[in-house]
Structure 1
Amino acid sequence: MPPTDPPPAAPTGLPTGLPTGLPTGLLDGLLDGHRRRLAEHAATGRAFDRRALDAYRAAGSQAARAGVPLRLLVDRALAAGEGVPGVLPALRRAVSALMEGYEQAQLTAIREEESARREFVDDLLQGRAERLAERAEHFGLRLAESYVVAVARGLRDGDQDRIERDLIARFGSHNVLVSVRDGLLVCVAPATLAAAVGEFVHHVRNRFPPGWRVGVGRPKRGPGGVVTSYREAAQALELADGLGLTADVVKAADLLVFPVLLRDRGAIEDLVTSVLDPLLDARGGPEPLLETLEAVFASHGNQTAAARRLRVSPRAVTYRLERIRRLTGFSPDDPTQRFTLETAVLGARLLNWPAAF
């Protein structure tokens, strides 16, 4: 195909399905000069030069962007060689160049779509309101609905693409958004699609190395709700670390009391130091006594169950609780004092007492 006889310009944008009404003569226009070129090759034996093959690649790319099915394009190119002897090698090179250009256009369109998708998710999580609703419609999202955000820690190179493909394969690209933000793998899904978060956790468990953890925000409505749910999920990870929780999946809904405590840092610091500072004088330090209180609270006051958690004798638990009562003046057996003690212990874990004091 001579460089002076290029195919006509075609509309931009790669359709997702087969076109229903191709413009008349589009295929002929894309392959204009192709039959003549084959005839010249048959007469002279000269192979197609680089510029001719580049023109075939450009024609293949334009065919993809115009929505011409590859099967039709190749069929028309092959048909041009019927009855022309000795052109099979040249025809193979021409068809190969057409297909190369076509596939490259498809790959470019996919990459552009992925880039736009990830840019949209990043803007959404940062609360950038510019054209969010319009852009959301392009990805099939209805931002007036409620969405849940889950975040996973422990991301490695390549994990994002694999998990995103798996989730989209099951739920569709219009139902889940996957991106990376602040080193976390982020999944945004409709609140009505409860299975999506579970599937996300499943893939994280299978692909992430040991030490992974997933935080899940509460369902929130609208673009601002997505931002809030994302922040809750990320904060759930931080709280789980501070509290020494062992659960792999932590939900913001289960940790609501802790943000409340941290809103008045001065008050919680005063509570921790007032109630727990006397434990600094205990033999062996405060840590065994704090662990005992945590085990008792987790066991709903059952000292035998707390002893099993701590792998000590019930008598040791009784002794430690008595030591706490004598040093602090607070007893977990008294309902009011138990609440004060439990709040102080939670605050101590959140604020890294006594190391950070």
Structure 2
Amino acid sequence: MNVLAQVSEATGVPADLLGGYPAVLAAASATGRLPARDTIEELRARGASAAERGVPMRALVDACLLTAELTLRSADTSTLGALRRAVAAYAEGYEGAQHRALREEEAARHAFIDDLLQGRAERLAERAEHFGLRLAEAYVVAVARDTKPIADGDPLIRRIEQALIARFGSHNILIAARDGLLVCVAPGALTAATGEFAHHVRAALASEWRVGIGRPHRGPGGVVTSYREAGDAIRLGDRLGLRPQVLKAADLLVFPVLLRDREAIEDLITTVLDPLAQARGGPEPLLETLEAVFAAQGNQTAAARRLGISPRAVTYRLERVRRLTGFSPDDPTQRFTLETAVIGARLIGWPSRDEG
């Protein structure tokens, strides 16, 4: 049995990956010369081939050393130098192939995420399986916003993804950066995943973070829908000044309903709230007071604490609202009308800064 066959049998490394290597060692031992550049390039290429074929680096190094042991009867300085250069070439080629594979995988992942969140369906289900997603199932999307955009390559992406996989033992969770947001795509059946995502966001991001969570939907288009719902939840929270930092689209369904009939909501605002523009200081303090009272379920003392004013000031402002508009927050029917008008005002940005 020749040297390469012995090494291959002992280490499991295919003999063709070592072809030419024994000759390199023998030539160095006989002449004292180190391997030429073209020989090093050939060994580097074989190292890359080993990586592409899934041969472990430890096995490859072991094969190189065993080949040297079987080939050389004595190890002089030149031979050891050739051995060192040959092993370095194998390792360099191997690592280069691994790095290229990682870059290609990351590029494929980035392209897949872009296509997934934009609904481009070219081989999407097939590609999704490569990343552990089965799009026939329902998926839910959560997005997190920080004070500054979150970019590809942020260590936070990998850290949170590893934490979720460790917690749930599942690889069909995807964490990525998209449009400056941190995005989490998780199976709808894994109901705790979005809560765990929000937990890690809370621990990692600045105090002004906010998380939006879409509803579960099936299919590639379902992921897009849930992603848009999650982003809309954050935008609604900002527009309405909502205090919770984690907002679920399912809890905010009434607001898109209001926006669908813009003409009706503008008519409601004009009828109910326009008289507040006559108040000294403009309508904003009265709108803020109404919002605080509604949020406190009508408790004026709690509303005063939220606003940082006295309960008497809250009572005075509510009386001003009643006198100017004819609507009282104490009357159940009128309260509903007032609250809907105030929500609509925040949704469409009434009053504008120019008007205020």
**Residues 149-187 of structure 1: CA distance to partner in whole angstroms, max 9, x if unpaired?**
111122344664432344135416732112232222211
1:1-357 alignment runs, 5 A limit? 27-82=14-69, 83-86=73-76, 87-154=79-146, 155-157=149-151, 160-168=154-162, 170-171=164-165, 174-355=171-352
2:130 partner letter: H
1:78 partner letter: L
Contact 1:149 / 1:233 at 8 angstroms: preserved in 2?
yes
User: What is the CA distance between 1:49 and its match in structure 2?
Assistant: 2.4
Q: Tell me the TM-score normalised to structure 1 length.
A: 0.88
Contact 1:303 / 1:318 at 8 angstroms: preserved in 2?
yes
Contact 2:150 / 2:181 at 8 angstroms: preserved in 1?
no
Contact 2:152 / 2:177 at 8 angstroms: preserved in 1?
no
SS in 1 for 2:215: coil
Contact 2:150 / 2:177 at 8 angstroms: preserved in 1?
no
Contact 1:27 / 1:73 at 8 angstroms: preserved in 2?
no
Q: How many residues align?
A: 336
**Residues 44-95 of structure 1: CA distance to partner in whole angstroms, max 9, x if unpaired?**
1111222222211110110111122222221221122122422112111111
Measure, in 2, the Cα distance between the counterparts of 1:342 and 1:25.
75
1:125 partner letter: L
SS in 2 for 1:331: coil
Contact 2:239 / 2:346 at 8 angstroms: preserved in 1?
yes
What is aligned with 1:18? none
SS in 2 for 1:194: coil
Measure, in 2, the Cα distance between the counterparts of 1:105 and 1:247.
48
User: What is the CA distance between 1:100 and its match in structure 2?
Assistant: 1.6
User: What is the CA distance between 1:229 and its match in structure 2?
Assistant: 0.5
Distance change (3 Å), C-alpha of 1:159 and 1:344? farther
Contact 2:12 / 2:59 at 8 angstroms: preserved in 1?
no
Q: Tell me the TM-score normalised to structure 2 length.
A: 0.88
**Residues 106-128 of structure 1: CA distance to partner in whole angstroms, max 9, x if unpaired?**
22212212221221121111111
Contact 1:163 / 1:203 at 8 angstroms: preserved in 2?
no
Distance change (3 Å), C-alpha of 1:282 and 1:143? same
Contact 2:160 / 2:197 at 8 angstroms: preserved in 1?
no
Contact 1:27 / 1:76 at 8 angstroms: preserved in 2?
no
Percent identical residues = 67
Deviates more, 1:70-79 or 1:291-300: 70-79
Deviates more, 1:222-231 or 1:314-323: 314-323
User: What is the CA distance between 1:42 and its match in structure 2?
Assistant: 1.1
**Residues 289-338 of structure 1: CA distance to partner in whole angstroms, max 9, x if unpaired?**
11111111111122222222223222222221111111001111111111
Deviates more, 1:307-316 or 1:160-169: 160-169
What is aligned with 1:7? none
Distance change (3 Å), C-alpha of 1:165 and 1:58? farther
Structure 1 residue runs of 5 or longer lacking an equivalent are: 1-20
Measure, in 2, the Cα distance between the counterparts of 1:195 and 1:109.
33
Contact 2:13 / 2:60 at 8 angstroms: preserved in 1?
no
User: What is the CA distance between 1:246 and its match in structure 2?
Assistant: 2.9
What is aligned with 1:17? none
